[in-house]
Structure 1
Amino acid sequence: MSSALSSATRLRRLSMAVILCTTTALSACGMGDVRRPMADVGDSDTSVASQSLASEESNGVAEENQLRASAEPGEFAAQEPEILSASDVAQAPDQQPDTIVVPEAPQVAEPKRYSLPESEPASDDAESYGYSGGIRDPIARGETRLAMSGSETACRTQLKQLGVVFQERDPINDGGVCRIDHPLTVSGFSSGRIRLKPSATLNCQMTLAFARWVKGDLSPSTRLRYLSGINTIHQASSYSCRTMSSQRGRSMSEHSKGNALDISRITLNNGKAIQVQKPGWFAFRQRGLLNTVRSDACDYFTTVLGPGYDRFHGTHFHFDLMQRRNGRRACR
């Protein structure tokens, strides 16, 4: 009887040991904690699932921190995201998620170097009156319009207003007083309706005085006496490096400065040619015109010489702007 009881006791102990071993094995394999599904089942309580997920995430963060602490200092620094430009991304479309794309800066065009435009040469077209000629090198040449004084610039403005046909010329310097710093080639007046032949080389102030004389005195006088306007004014001398009357030993003429002009003939629109010379006994209109022009010209010029003064001025009028110390004018 006692042996039967001991056998039953041992069998029960063996069964309990097998159950304990089985339970321990199942627990070690993860079968003891069965996760509930996260499906929405209405008003059921999901707090158990949320706590399970939270605990799992915290365990993952802890493991990651342990790995970072145990890693060497330069291990994670080498895994920094790579920075690529937009062109590199276009060439490599299969880019990793941790790649940072930096857009390329816009290309700015290099500014063009500025250079002074080269002016066209002066035109011989008389219709372009009142405009200066071309300037080839406005920086290297001191005689250009950029170097003109205020009076020279103002003078040219007045010539344009009067309709004088002129062009700029290169500076003239023939030595001594034979020079014009800013010479003009004058070919007409009244916007080209009155021509000057041949073209005269003068300074600006002499050109301005002559243009005023033509407009204010000569043109009205010819209309009054001949009922016709002026077609052409014929000049005998403008700039010329010489002495007075081309006589040796005399002072230099105002012609050597471009400050004088000689007129020998005037042609009217009706074809009448008026010679500047001592008229005959019965040339009443010619005598009256020449006398009037000669006397009134002293309002425009400082020197007026003509037929009857001497043998050197018997065939032309001489006009100039000579500056005398006492301000005297010579009208003879």
Structure 2
Amino acid sequence: MESTRSKIIQVLSTNDDNFISGQEISEQLKISRSAIWKHMKELEKDGYVIEAKRNKGYRIIQSPGKVSENTVQWGLETKWLGKSIIHKETTSSTQVIAHQLAMNNAPHGTVVIADEQTAGRGRLNREWYSAKNKGIWLSIILRPTILPYLAPQLTLLTATVLADVIKNNLDLDTKIKWPNDIIIQDKKVSGILTEMQAEQDRIQYIVIGIGMNVNQKLEEIPDDIQSKATSLMIQTGRILDVTNLIQDILITFEKTYEEYCNHGFPIIKERWESYGYRLGERTKIKTFQTVQDAILMGIADDGALLAKYNDGEVKRIYSGEIDWFYNNENSK
């Protein structure tokens, strides 16, 4: 359920720099003038600078730099994504909170954001280092009408969203390493964790977790992953506005998700493959049975990686170890 304060944020943000009268807000939201004044005072505590003039009304002239429900919703031009936002300064994992909310009927498009995760995790329960106020740590609750076996498509969709936001906003050469890592200059900057609660023929809900390194300096990345991880600050040389990036991700996600719902997976598949890390190159793939050279060809509709082996056969890879830095010279 969208809060009254969120609705006030929406009303003020759609009026840009113009004043909007207390009476107009009162009529739109069906609350008293005194209630509006109390909400404005709470917004000021959150760091907003609000100008109030007699016979004119209210306007926000400056928003705070910190992440909160209000700062993310201020100017967030989405129809359904992020209308309900839960923000935590510190939590074990946004995924845990999102699962709890989803099981208690939280609506489609609910977003959980944290400044810090103390037990962030990625695929295969690997630890994800989530430093306070240094990155984007969020989870999105979705209730799609697709069949459960198509759920991996949403991981691939999310990867294209993150790649689009980084490339379009920061002009960085961005790649997607199958299935869910965002790569810049051969180093990971972001990852995705998709988890689902479903029956045989129906998805109850999906939680998509996003972790993105934004403002870490090189020395703030743990020593054991410095050779494999990076941040947007390291890549651009400047501190970035985390709130703006979150808004861009949510806006792009909603647009891309609706394209997917209306037109299916082919457009997502094409976009993913345009970012595909080392597609068309030879690598080494270790599965349960064999270790073989193969050329990475793209992705299948079910999210599998397509690899062409030396005998010409193209196989679907669902799990296995891929030597992403395999030297092509070794196969000549």
TM-score interval, normalised by the smaller of the two chains: under 0.3
What is the TM-score when the length of structure 2 is the normalising length?
Answer: 0.28
What is the TM-score when the length of structure 1 is the normalising length?
Answer: 0.28
Instruction: Write 1 or 2 for the structure with the bigger share of strand.
Output: 2
* Structure ID, larger Rg: 1
Higher relative CO (Cα under 8 Å, sequence separation at least 6) belongs to 2
